[in-house]
Structure 1
Amino acid sequence: MIELAFPLVLLLLPLPLAVFYLLPPHRKQVPGTRFPFFRKIVVATGLTPSSGSVIFRRSILQMISAAAIWGLLVVALAQPEKVGDAIVVEKSARDIMLAIDLSGSMDQRDFPALDGSRTQRLEAVKAVVGKFISTREDDRVALIVFGTRAFVQAPFTEDLESLRALLDQTEVGMAGPHTALGDAIGLAIVTFQASEIEERLLIVLSDGGDTGSRMTPVNAASIASRYGIDILTIGVGDPEGSGDQRLDEKTLEAIAASAGGTYQFAGSEQALAQIYTRVAEQLPREVETQSYRPRQSLSHILLAAAALLGFLTVAFLQISTYRRREA
């Protein structure tokens, strides 16, 4: 299908006719020579003299060529476009960020696995979170890891396979032995600021209390709430532990409450999998659909045709004039 981007330009098509009929012809005075024997010349040539100016007449070929060239130029100015079939593009309407605790306590091999054995906390977390990532086909997902410091392991991406690969490469202690939970939330806020998507969810998974943040986790969560970031906290440690090994459920609950989210405790790999399953069910498919039709301009073809027609007309007239002179 062909459409005109500026169809009103076609109103210029009758402009040459308006100029021809409404404006007087151009007049120019030129010097002349008087012949005392003018009458004899007229009789000898057999011509009939007349008064007035000389108006050059164009041939039919010139008129047709000029009209065709003008029409091609006007249509080219209207920018004809070849419009293709509609193309529908879907993009994510939600950003999900995963913050995973890699502090030294995540190396504890006391986490009940699905088969009843005891496994490393981080290994169980990576298995469950990896499956959750696979279900977020229509979302952009990012990964933050934190210990003594917080780092962006993967920025927001729709390449879920690469994201899972980066998750699998994480190891206990790679971000330091302590738990900077508040710094992780602060880093998440900064990362979310680069996103233009309104639906924002931060899932924080930790097995200990905050032991080294420059900003308290609750204050960071309050700031996150002002930026429209919902926070879900998940605890996987031991609430009855001691020192840095004890899971600080009160802090995780306060973080979730400050950001309008919820706190969930996962005492086993099965419980953790159930939590992520519920989260996946509560986050239905949400995408923004955009459609457009590819357009290809055809103006250059018309301009080339006008130039070619003008060249051929001039060439034909020159050849005709040359042949008349030779004859």
Structure 2
Amino acid sequence: MRQMLYITFSNPLWLLLFLGLPILILVYIWYVRKRSPLMFINGTSVNPKSVFSPFSPLDYLFLIRMMAIVIIILAMANPELKYRQKIRSPFSTSDIVFALDASKSMLIEDLKPNRSEALKAVLNRFVALRMEDRIGMVLYAGESINWCPLTKNSKQLLKSINSMQHNELNDGTAIGSGIVTAIKALQNSKVKNKVIVLLTDGENNAGIIDPLLAAQFAQRLHIKIYTISIGRTGFAPMPLKDLNGKTYYQKVYCTINETVLKRIAQITGGTYFKATDVGTLRTVYNQINRMEQQQQRWVYHNRYESYRLMLVCIALLLLLTETILKMTVLRTWPS
């Protein structure tokens, strides 16, 4: 975003040459136009009546040349458009890590087409809204893995999101391990605003790291954690495959420890959200995006845009036009 202020000259002393223009005009009128009874353009004589007419060939050529001189003087003075540009402060960028539950229960279809695919669609939109930030991704189930390091390469990140698998890790829900892996992904970050967006559809039942202890570790490193629970509690049909590759459904009981998720967010200065359908999940990530935008800082810089090159091109075009006219149209100006 930019706001135009005014036009200025970086070398204004060249504008003093305009004081000489009246002298050039007087010289033309006195010594050329009035005192020469017969003028020649490229060796072709011009009738004096034509010379003293209001629109003689020499008048046209002189006018074009004067315009070129005026523009050349302006170019030497270097006119610049000064404008104020609003840019995002580099100190207000964020490093964000998605810590995503990759347990097999994410394949439950209470969100359509299932929890995992619904999440991918929402994350794709979130990434598009945060192009200035570095974003990474951690997957956790019974164990955790840094699936995509922090990057501004949105294509690489989106490829990692859309290739997220649920059979790469031992099954389970090790929330504490997921938080610690996300912290490690942020440990070399130099930005002030470091964020983990933790999503799970279950409660901590694997790993050796207590989620609240991991949250305290994040708090000491000034890392904020947003926590999200996805799906509903109770029985839900989970798709499984038999030995022949045929899909069948088995009802499993889902529980979410909201108390722990709220406490993780509270310790680190984040917020807890609950998403029970696709619309709510989309709203949650939109809210997180808006909350993080409030962390942004904007600064104003004065910028200058020079018009010297454009003026030089116009002057050269005028001089070329003068030459062409002398050799074509005005060469055979009627007597």
Partner of 1:273: 282
Superposed CA deviations along residues 231-282 of structure 1, whole A, max 9, x for unmatched, are: 0000003233598621221221121112121110001010000111111122
Contact 1:239 1:249 in 2 (8 A): no
Q: What is the one-letter code of the residue matched to 1:156?
A: L
1:89 offset after TM fit, Å?
11
**Mapped contact 2:143–2:174 kept (Cα < 8 A):** yes
Q: Distance in 1 between matches of 2:261 and 2:88?
A: 39
Partner of 2:138: 144
- Secondary structure (helix, strand or coil) at the match of 2:156 reads helix
In the other structure, the counterpart of 1:107 is 107
Residue by residue over 1:87-110, the C-alpha shift from the partner in whole angstroms, topping out at 9 and shown as x without a partner, is x99757211111111101101111
TM-score w.r.t. the length of structure 2 is 0.55
Give the 3-state SS of the residue equivalent to 1:283 in structure 2: helix
Question: Which has more strand, going by share of residues?
Answer: 2
- Structure 2 SS opposite 1:255: helix
CA–CA separation in structure 1 for the residues paired with 2:151 and 2:89 = 14
**Structure 1 Cα separation of the partners of residues 219 and 282 of structure 2:** 26
RMSD: 2.5
Inter-CA distance 244–153: structure 2 relative to 1 (3 Å threshold): farther
Q: Does 1:208 align with 2:202?
A: yes
Maintained 8 Å contact 2:139/2:178: yes
CA contact (8 A) 1:241 1:247 kept: no
Give the Å deviation of 1:204.
Answer: 0.4
Contact 1:138–1:287 (8 Å) recurs in 2: no
Deviation at 1:208, TM superposition (A): 0.3
CA separation of 1:155/1:211 partners in 2, compared to 1, >3 Å: closer, same or farther?
same
**Normalised TM-score (structure 1):** 0.56
Among candidates 177, 201, 205, match of residue 183 of structure 1: 177
For 1:106 and 1:267, locate their aligned partners in 2 and report how far apart those are by CA, in whole Å: 13
Q: Tell me which residue corresponds to 1:260.
A: 269
Letter in 1 for 2:139: V
Counterpart residue type for residue 277 of structure 1? N
Q: Does 1:132 align with 2:141?
A: no
Distance in 2 (alpha carbons) for counterparts of 1:278 and 1:120 = 22
Going from structure 1 to structure 2, the CA distance change for 1:89 and 1:122 (only over 3 Å counts) comes to closer
Distance 1:205 1:105 in 2: 13
Q: CA deviation at 1:133?
A: 0.9
Amino acid at match of 2:165: E
How far did 1:140 drift?
0.7
The AA in structure 1 aligned to 2:101 is D
Structure 1 residues 255 and 105, CA gap change in structure 2 (3 angstroms): same
Aligned counterpart for 1:221 among listed residues 215, 219, 233:
215
Tell me the distance in 2 between the aligned counterparts of 1:163 and 1:222.
28
Find the counterpart in structure 2 of residue 98 from structure 1: 98
Which residue identity is paired with 2:123? V
Q: Indicate conservation of the 8 Å contact 2:143/2:169, yes or no.
A: yes
Name the CA distance, whole Å, in 2 between partners of 1:287 and 1:160. 22
What residue identity is the alignment partner of 2:262? E
Which ranges in structure 2 are unaligned for 5 or more consecutive residues? 1-86, 237-251, 302-335
* C-alpha distance in structure 1 between counterparts of 2:129 and 2:276, whole Å: 23
- Select which of 95, 117, 123 maps to 1:123: 117
Tell me the amino acid that sits aligned with residue 180 of structure 2.
G
**Number of aligned positions between the proteins:** 199
**Alignment gaps of 5+ in structure 1:** 1-87, 112-117, 292-327
Match of 1:282 among 286, 291, 294: 291
Q: Equivalent pairs: percent with the same residue?
A: 27
What is residue 226 of structure 2 aligned with on the other side?
Answer: 232
Q: Deviations over 1:182-238 (max 9, x none)?
A: 001011122211111121111001100011121111110011011000000000032
Paired residues for 1:67-82 under 5 Å: none
Q: Which runs of 4+ in 1 moved over 6 A?
A: none
